[in-house]
Structure 1
Amino acid sequence: MSGAERSTAGVVSFGERLHRAVDDHGPVIAGVDPHASLLEAWSLPDTPEGLREFSRTTLAAVRGTVAAIKPQSAFYERHGSAGIAVLEELLRAARELGVLTILDAKRGDIGSTMEAYAQSYLRPGAPLEADAITVSPFLGTGSLDPATELAAEHGKGLFLLALTSNPDGPQVQHARTAGDTPVALEIARHAERIGKAAPGEWSSVGLVVGSTVGDAYRELGLDRAAPSVPLLAPGFGAQGAGPAQLTEVFGESAGHVLVSLSRGLLAAGPDEASLRARAEELQAAYS
């Protein structure tokens, strides 16, 4: 059975939909991160209504020019229930327009709590339903089983934190397990195993690997351990990485990289036409 058929009958896998979107639009995904400073730069109030205008404008501008959008949940949560309502609106609007959504929530827990997180974001019809979410495996890879099972059932995706772009990430991610395996490598092996992608297919289970991690992705063996996974790569643009890092950091896996850009794209706002032009410019630079 192929990856496209592995989820519920009639549901195309997230991996296939993502691969198709990258083929159609290019590798850039738009990080929807309504920082207070960005709202101010757009002459918007730091309020739920400001979030709403920011989100609507961004979605309208990047629709059809990026492979997916990646809202950062925290910037909506900080406004309480009204902010979360705006996030619900954004996810619903993207779904209606056929724009893939990767919700950057970095959830991770055990047992019934992880099941509740999975139901919140991966269950069809949930108010915060997304096509994929970011998750943290640092309570043990098995802690993600409820999300893994629900994602497979409904054609959703997961991105497991593996090598993040923050400078102190190696304290945990390069550390070795009791079996003398780097933690990041164990996570990559787990992602490849649970993704179950057929040869040549993109898995529905990806990894978060920062574009600023130098040679760690290849030196630790993640490229060989997980050849089918898509790679959600923050760190491009404002954090210093550029097109050269696609091959310098990811080598032969560069074709699986999702170039996550937020400030480098959103700084072109609030004019919708300027945002769209910037998205097209970035796609050309990274394709």
Structure 2
Amino acid sequence: MSVLEPFGARLRRAMDERGPLCVGIDPHASLLAAWGLNDDVAGLERFSRTVVEAVADRVAVMKPQSAFYERFGSRGIAVLEKTVEQARAAGALVVMDAKRGDIGSTMAGYAEAYLRKGAPLFSDALTVSPYLGYGSLSPAVALARESGAGLFVLALTSNPEGPEVQHAVRADGRSVGATVLAHLAVENAGEEPLGSFGAVVGATVGDLSSHDLDINGPLLAPGVGAQGATPADLPGLFGPALRNVVPNVSRGVLRHGPEVGALRSVTEHFAEEIRAAVGGA
């Protein structure tokens, strides 16, 4: 089985060709209800298929949230497998939002599930948590390199509980979040045109001027749209790292369903606003 071109190179090309927008696929119960769908596997499948049909051929990245599929057990996972396959077939890169984090053979098992080419849930990249120690991610890093996949590591998230860990200061005077960014810069050193190991940095976290975001890798930025951040906020927040930012919009797009035309229209609106904000970055 051939090895894919590295995720960072594939992502850079997709961002240049389609723009950097990432659209989330978050089929939680309230959204299914808002779309007039039942909170069951049939509703889950209809929701997912509609989102993929509407936008997967026009955005760089799609990000399904695994939890909303897992709650339906094996049948929900089967829908997730199909969703990943369909999105990738339409040309979008798929970032599996599963936030896996563990140690040793267990972390290796998670890596095999999402990052081994040919696995039923193989995705172009996986979100992971480094808070059992960055070194605990080693099995995922190694398999991602082998498979041409990538990782997005939680670094500076916008949830209110995040700072108690991410802003904690180590004995060397550097925050935990800053340490995660430094590790990623090492992973990506020398990679062109872009490294494959990115950070999750929320678009609503506020002032990032004290953090070195130049990790030579992508920065997945949730929070645009329903959570309050706007495309116009991105240049001030990310500064020189702006060109590598992948803004994620989920509810801001999904709440306009179930009509495919409406989903496409709002996606194109966000994409144009983001292109205008990023400009010549």
Q: TM over 0.5, yes or no?
A: yes
Aligned partners of 2:57 and 2:91 also within 8 Å: no
Per-residue CA deviation, residues 11-50 of structure 1 (Å, 9 max, x unaligned), is 3110011111111111111100011111111111111111
Is it true that 1:249 corresponds to 2:237 in the alignment? yes
Aligned partners of 2:220 and 2:246 also within 8 Å: yes
Aligned partners of 1:148 and 1:158 also within 8 Å: yes
Partners of 2:3 and 2:101 in 1: CA distance: 29
Corresponding position of 1:5: none
Corresponding position of 1:4: none
Is it true that 1:203 corresponds to 2:195 in the alignment? yes
Corresponding position of 2:278: none
Runs of 4 or more consecutive aligned structure 1 residues displaced over 6 Å after TM superposition: none
Corresponding position of 2:261: 273
TM-score when scaled to structure 1?
A: 0.92
Is it true that 1:68 corresponds to 2:58 in the alignment? no
Is it true that 1:172 corresponds to 2:165 in the alignment? yes
Q: Which moved more, 1:101-110 or 1:249-258?
A: 249-258
Aligned partners of 1:72 and 1:104 also within 8 Å: yes
Partners of 2:140 and 2:188 in 1: CA distance: 12
Q: Structure 1 residue 9: deviation in Å?
A: 7.4
Say which of 21, 30, 33 aligns to 1:28: 21
Aligned partners of 1:184 and 1:222 also within 8 Å: no
Partners of 1:9 and 1:281 in 2: CA distance: 37
Aligned length: 275
Aligned partners of 1:133 and 1:159 also within 8 Å: yes
**Shift in alpha-carbon separation, 1:152–1:196, aligned structure 2, 3 A:** farther
Corresponding position of 2:219: 231
Is it true that 1:85 corresponds to 2:75 in the alignment? no
Partner SS, residue 104 of structure 1: strand
Q: What pairs up with 1:105-124 in 2 under 5 angstroms?
A: 105-124=98-117
Aligned partners of 2:20 and 2:59 also within 8 Å: yes
Aligned partners of 2:102 and 2:132 also within 8 Å: yes
Partners of 2:171 and 2:66 in 1: CA distance: 34
Contiguous gaps of at least 5 residues in structure 1:
1-7
Corresponding position of 1:260: 248
Aligned partners of 1:57 and 1:272 also within 8 Å: yes
Corresponding position of 2:212: 222
CA RMSD of aligned residues (A): 1.4
Aligned partners of 1:157 and 1:205 also within 8 Å: yes
Q: Structure 1 residue 256: deviation in Å?
A: 1.1
Partners of 1:108 and 1:180 in 2: CA distance: 25
Corresponding position of 1:3: none
